[in-house]
Amino acid sequence: MSDKNFVKEITNIEDDFSQWYTDIVLKAELADYTEVKGFISIRPYGYAIWENIQKYADKKFKENGVKNLAMPVLIPESLLQKEKDHVEGFAPEVAWVTMGGGQELEERLCVRPTSETIFSTMYSKWLKSWRDLPYLYNQWCNVLRWEKETRPFLRSREFLWQEGHTIHETEKEAKEFTLKMLDVYADVIENLLAIPVLKGKKTKTEQFAGAEATYTVETLMHDGRALQAGTSHYFGQNFSKPFEIKFQNREGKEEYAYQTSWGISTRLLGAVIMAHGDNRGLKLPPKVAPIQVVIVPVAMHKDGVKEKAEELCKKLKEKYRVELDIRDQYSTGYKFNDWEMRGVPIRLEIGPRDIEANKCVLVRRDNAEKIEVNLIELENKIENILEEIQKNMYEECAKRVVDRTTIANNMDEFIKNLESNQGYVKTMWCGSPECEEKVHELTGAKSRCIPFKQETVGDKCVCCGKPANTMVIWGRQY
Amino acid sequence: MSDKNFVKEITNIEDDFSQWYTDIVLKAELADYTEVKGFISIRPYGYAIWENIQKYADKKFKENGVKNLAMPVLIPESLLQKEKDHVEGFAPEVAWVTMGGGQELEERLCVRPTSETIFSTMYSKWLKSWRDLPYLYNQWCNVLRWEKETRPFLRSREFLWQEGHTIHETEKEAKEFTLKMLDVYADVIENLLAIPVLKGKKTKTEQFAGAEATYTVETLMHDGRALQAGTSHYFGQNFSKPFEIKFQNREGKEEYAYQTSWGISTRLLGAVIMAHGDNRGLKLPPKVAPIQVVIVPVAMHKDGVKEKAEELCKKLKEKYRVELDIRDQYSTGYKFNDWEMRGVPIRLEIGPRDIEANKCVLVRRDNAEKIEVNLIELENKIENILEEIQKNMYEECAKRVVDRTTIANNMDEFIKNLESNQGYVKTMWCGSPECEEKVHELTGAKSRCIPFKQETVGDKCVCCGKPANTMVIWGRQY
């Protein structure tokens, strides 16, 4: 950012979406590649977005009675193997610690890819009576999954997330909590990140290794690909039996607990980039933006301009996240482009003539609109505009979902739809994994979910043509 | 906590301090051992203390311009080896990942014991000009050090911490920042945790592997042993040279940056336990206590008692961290002891007669004082009492430091002092590492630091008797 006096070039979003994405990640300084293959560093600007997500979500968790704790980062191989489906799902992609303190370990330890096994072990140790229940615990931490192909935020060998793990007295309570946490995720993604979600249940093929049911919030990106943005799992007693998470129930009998887990991750930063960004760069929803207003003085070296800008900055900082750009080495035009590229929702321009007229100019990042504002009205005006931007960004994404959702009654339609208008494809489905697999082979699309809001878009399976009464939404995915 | 109707027994603090400590950790449910040897789980009550420390410290960091980011948890062996002293210090105690995704890795990766090397690599990549400086970055994360002997919080193979890493344009600025962060630590420990600190510089022998100078805040525990509570390091160009952290300076010439790092960890929870606890259990300073006021209704099943307690709880929650104990399975007496053991600063008792008289009773955890309070005055009274408790707890620790600090002019006095009154021993020191080593051999004490506040307590080295003009404070340590 130091010695070059031009805004870094970004690949055209329609030409090469994938390269556009990488450009944004690197040039907006959200993250960077490191010397550790497949591992990124999340830079301060990207991390500040994650902190805002954390703050919002953590508050919602706590309102639902969830408490945070910390579990070990390493898990012994024998623990990982206790639940059959789970180990099959995760063992191929873990990293193993085999040496510690200069010595070969007796049993190798994996760096957690997820922590069901270690939570289950501790819950088994702690739980005695129904009176102790529920345990509603969560941890914010890092996890490792040894992916072959990696992309910053979307698929990284290490990512940051929260993993909530709860145990309950009854099946009903556990199921309800699974869905309650899915609602929290929908809240975070829709209200904070301004991205509409599609809520539903994953098919058996797509569910979490070891789960009885997996629920998901799916999002649709600029290019019409889907991104799974958060999942909440109901385990029944799948873990509580092998791990012996038992309690004395109200009748004095021994019973196994009912369990859930749920997670969102730094993947959400990928969602924000790909749902909102454009050819000018990143576009951040005001509620999650580390900088909501950037002040760029015009003709900065004229008498009193810098001072006025500083005064406004100080004042606005009481209420908003504000940055003042008085860098000497860049032109005003460069700064305008630079902050647009970094996705700051409002740019505030103030120059000698503005000061004379006691006004300034606000420029919206979402629609480039310029608004002259009297300084007296500034604070309220900014509040209104930030709200409008947040709303407008949500609506733009919602419109995309409508525009890019099609219905297919057979595979020809399915393929044609995806070719002409990539996005969600709604179909009926007979419920067989074979049809699901075949759809994937023919189209590259996977089932996103069985939406909670079911519609009857036909009466035959899109694949085999047999009678079907379940609607599935499909899409190619990140 | 479920089926036993008595308060868990705690070892007498004077009989066996070490066992007393373990009892508190486990019985107050601050942490627990796990199936991974040397690794603990920090339970919700302990973690909530850590969250309060994080919130306080993070705010101070940000006020000083520090931004958070995230670096990879794994570090390639070749990176670790770039700074000679650093690798010598840390290599023996790291854990190595040798397999990932089912394959042997080409180069083994250590789980970070600290992240100077990876920060330095990224700084080298990012830094171009003096205009970019300073970088004031920090991360809150987990680190691993393969300790042979472990104790919850004090010495654990995994711990949580923050590690700040900064680079600066000049030596002067970097040195000032090192000390500024030490001041932040002193603030956290004295004002939040109510533990007085001794500030000073570590001797060469005790300084961080790779540092030019290490500064420390030392604390004194109940048994007179010292605990290093936070350190801040000045590196000069020790890392910037091998890692090539270069920039173009104001004269257009290439220069190496000046670097610092600084950290505090979950070790601070050990400090809180050991500085304040007593035979009734944990004793938490109000500012960091997850629960500041616990409401225990007396004769809970009498008409209107529970309702009144709930009403008070709701009201007080607007201002304080409050818990209402309406557990059925325990007696009131049990509850009193239980919350004392968990260190809650104020217990609020309310029963039928109190309600009639429109009053309640507050009981202070720090000195067991009972205070009748009219309900109208309750909120203000609680504020005052919490402040008093915070102050009183600090003063008790400060008194201990005075009582347990002795002066020694020779080794006989040194040994006698430690035997009769374990604590800090002030001596003059000639500056030779050999004398330092000999003191350790003879007494088990190590130099805590060369205090910033120097005094002349003699004119000869306590060990060799040669002329000396440096005062050192020594102590046995955790």
The string of DSSP codes covering B356-367 is: HTTEEEEEETTT
User: Min CA distance, A183 vs chain B (Å)?
Assistant: 24
Note whether B55 contacts A: Cβ–Cβ < 8 A: no
B76 with A35: Cβ contact below 8 A: yes
Question: What pLDDT is stored for residue A1 in this prediction?
Answer: 38
Question: What pLDDT is stored for residue B9 in this prediction?
Answer: 85
- C-alpha torsion sign, points B10, B13, B16, B20: positive
- Report the pLDDT averaged over residues B424-437: 98
Question: What pLDDT is stored for residue A8 in this prediction?
Answer: 61
- Element (DSSP H or E) covering residue A379: helix A378-403
B41 with A132: Cβ contact below 8 A: no
Q: Which two tokens stand for residue A290?
A: 């580390």
- Report the pLDDT averaged over residues B375-390: 97
B163 pLDDT band (50/70/90 cuts)? very high
Question: What pLDDT is stored for residue B87 in this prediction?
Answer: 86
pLDDT over 70 percentage in chain B? 98
Number of neighbouring beta carbons within 10 Å of residue B465: 14
Contacts of A137 in chain B (CB under 8 A): 44
pLDDT above 90 (res B461): yes
Q: What is the largest CA-CA distance in chain B?
A: 82
A43 with B144: Cβ contact below 8 A: no
**What is the number of residues in chain A?**
478
3-state secondary structure of B407: strand
Residue A202 CA to residue A195 CA, distance in Å, equals 20
Note whether B117 contacts A: Cβ–Cβ < 8 A: no
- Report the pLDDT averaged over residues B316-323: 98
In CATH terms, the superfamily for domain A293-388 is Anticodon-binding domain (3.40.50.800)
Nearest chain A residue to B30 by CA distance is A69
Mutate to test the interface with A, among B29, B30, B34, B79 (most CBs of A within 10 A): B34
pLDDT over 90 percentage in chain A? 95
Domain A17-276 has CATH 3.30.930.10: yes
A72 with B158: Cβ contact below 8 A: yes
Taking only the tens place, the pLDDT of each residue in B5-62 is 445 689 999 999 999 999 999 999 999 999 999 999 999 999 999 999 999 999 999 9
**A with B: how many residue pairs have Cβ under 8 Å apart?**
185
What one-letter code names the amino acid at B187?
D
Note whether B87 contacts A: Cβ–Cβ < 8 A: no
pLDDT above 50 (res B334): yes
Note whether B68 contacts A: Cβ–Cβ < 8 A: yes
Q: What is the DSSP secondary-structure string of A111-130?
A: EPS--HHHHHHHHHHH--BG
Contacts of A75 in chain B (CB under 8 A): 36
Residue ranges with strand state E in A280-418: 293-297, 322-324, 346-350, 359-364, 370-374, 405-407
Question: What pLDDT is stored for residue A4 in this prediction?
Answer: 43
Contacts of B121 in chain A (CB under 8 A): 34-35
Whose tokens are 């189209």? That residue is A443
- Report the pLDDT averaged over residues B145-158: 96
Query: Which residues, 6 or more positions from B252, have their beta carbon under 8 angstroms from its beta carbon?
Result: none
Residue B472 CA to residue B457 CA, distance in Å, equals 10
B148 with A34: Cβ contact below 8 A: no
Q: Please state whether beta strands A405-407 and A424-429 pair in parallel, antiparallel, or not at all (unpaired).
A: parallel
Nearest chain A residue to B247 by CA distance is A2
Taking only the tens place, the pLDDT of each residue in A161-180 is 999 999 999 999 999 999 99
3-state secondary structure of B187: helix
Contacts of B2 in chain A (CB under 8 A): 128-129, 131-132
User: Min CA distance, A351 vs chain B (Å)?
Assistant: 24
Question: What pLDDT is stored for residue A88 in this prediction?
Answer: 87
Query: Which residues, 6 or more positions from B350, have their beta carbon under 8 angstroms from its beta carbon?
Result: B295, B297, B298, B305, B308, B309, B312, B360, B361
Distance of CA A102 to the CA centre of its chain: 39
- Report the pLDDT averaged over residues B290-306: 96
Contacts of B93 in chain A (CB under 8 A): 101
B85 pLDDT band (50/70/90 cuts)? confident
Query: Which residues, 6 or more positions from B250, have their beta carbon under 8 angstroms from its beta carbon?
Result: B130
- Element (DSSP H or E) covering residue A108: strand A103-111
| Domain spans in chain B, listed from the N-terminal domain onward | 17-276, 293-400, 405-475
B73 with A111: Cβ contact below 8 A: yes
Query: Which residues, 6 or more positions from A477, have their beta carbon under 8 angstroms from its beta carbon?
Result: A225, A226, A227, A228, A445, A446, A448
Nearest chain B residue to A266 by CA distance is B70
pLDDT above 60 (res B2): no
Question: What pLDDT is stored for residue B7 in this prediction?
Answer: 54
Q: Could you say which residues from 258 to 287 on chain B have a Cβ atom under 8 Å away from some Cβ of chain A?
A: none
A47 with B69: Cβ contact below 8 A: yes
Nearest to B129 among A2, A122, A128 (CB): A2
- Report the pLDDT averaged over residues B398-405: 98
Residues B407, B427 contacting (CB under 8 angstroms) = yes
User: Min CA distance, B336 vs chain A (Å)?
Assistant: 19
**Which among A115, A56, A125 is positioned nearest to A86, based on CA atoms?**
A115
pLDDT above 50 (res B239): yes
Nearest to A39 among B35, B74, B108 (CB): B74
Contacts of A58 in chain B (CB under 8 A): none
User: Min CA distance, A131 vs chain B (Å)?
Assistant: 6
Q: Which two tokens stand for residue B306?
A: 């529970």
Q: Could you say which residues from 323 to 382 on chain B have a Cβ atom under 8 Å away from some Cβ of chain A?
A: 327, 329
pLDDT above 50 (res A336): yes
B131 with A44: Cβ contact below 8 A: no
Question: What pLDDT is stored for residue B426 in this prediction?
Answer: 98
Note whether A118 contacts B: Cβ–Cβ < 8 A: yes
Number of neighbouring beta carbons within 10 Å of residue B434: 10
Angle at A336 between CA A335 and CA A340, to 5 degrees: 110
For B204-224, what is the HEC assignment? HHHCCCCCCEEEEEEEECCCC
Query: Which residues, 6 or more positions from B449, have their beta carbon under 8 angstroms from its beta carbon?
Result: B198, B199, B200, B201, B202, B203, B206, B215, B216, B218, B472, B473
Taking only the tens place, the pLDDT of each residue in A246-290 is 999 999 999 999 999 999 999 999 999 999 999 999 999 999 999
Domain B293-400 has CATH 3.40.50.300: no
- Report the pLDDT averaged over residues B210-223: 97
Note whether B142 contacts A: Cβ–Cβ < 8 A: yes
- C-alpha torsion sign, points A294, A298, A301, A303: negative
Q: Which two tokens stand for residue A472?
A: 């599935």
Residue A453 CA to residue A450 CA, distance in Å, equals 8
User: Min CA distance, B186 vs chain A (Å)?
Assistant: 25
Question: What pLDDT is stored for residue A6 in this prediction?
Answer: 47
Residues B415, B406 contacting (CB under 8 angstroms) = no
3-state secondary structure of A152: coil
B34 with A93: Cβ contact below 8 A: no
Q: Which two tokens stand for residue B218?
A: 């030392």
Question: What pLDDT is stored for residue B4 in this prediction?
Answer: 43
> What DSSP character marks residue B443?
H
Count Cβ atoms within 10 A of the Cβ of residue B407 and give its class: 0-12 exposed, 13-18 middle, 19 or more buried: middle
Contacts of A32 in chain B (CB under 8 A): 122, 125-126
Residue B357 CA to residue B352 CA, distance in Å, equals 9
| Least confidently predicted of A74-88, A431-445, B394-408 | A74-88
Nearest chain A residue to B70 by CA distance is A42
Domain A405-475 CATH (choose: 3.30.110.30, 3.40.50.2020, 3.30.470.20, 3.30.460.80): 3.30.110.30
- Element (DSSP H or E) covering residue A451: strand A446-451
- Report the pLDDT averaged over residues A346-359: 97
Write down the mean pLDDT value for chain B: 96
Note whether A32 contacts B: Cβ–Cβ < 8 A: yes
B72 with A111: Cβ contact below 8 A: no
Q: Please state whether beta strands A67-68 and A95-100 pair in parallel, antiparallel, or not at all (unpaired).
A: unpaired
- Report the pLDDT averaged over residues B376-405: 98
Residue A12 CA to residue A327 CA, distance in Å, equals 28
B1 with A132: Cβ contact below 8 A: yes
A9 pLDDT band (50/70/90 cuts)? confident
B363 pLDDT band (50/70/90 cuts)? very high
> What DSSP character marks residue A205?
G
Q: Peptide bond preceding B134: is omega within 30 degrees of 0, i.e. cis?
A: yes
3-state secondary structure of A414: helix
A72 with B160: Cβ contact below 8 A: no
Kindly list the distances between the CA atom of residue A235 and the CA atoms of A183, A248, A256, in Å, as whole numbers in the listed order.
18, 20, 12
Question: What pLDDT is stored for residue B86 in this prediction?
Answer: 84
Q: Which two tokens stand for residue A444?
A: 């590259």
Q: Which two tokens stand for residue A213?
A: 């049911």
Kindly list the distances between the CA atom of residue A128 and the CA atoms of A119, A133, A251, in Å, as whole numbers in the listed order.
15, 9, 14
A47 with B70: Cβ contact below 8 A: yes
A132 φ, ψ (degrees, to nearest 5): -75, -20
Nearest chain B residue to A27 by CA distance is B126
A34 with B118: Cβ contact below 8 A: yes
Q: Which two tokens stand for residue B439?
A: 């003191």
Q: Which two tokens stand for residue A118?
A: 């270690």
Q: What is the DSSP secondary-structure string of B264-281?
A: EETHHHHHHHHHH-BTTB
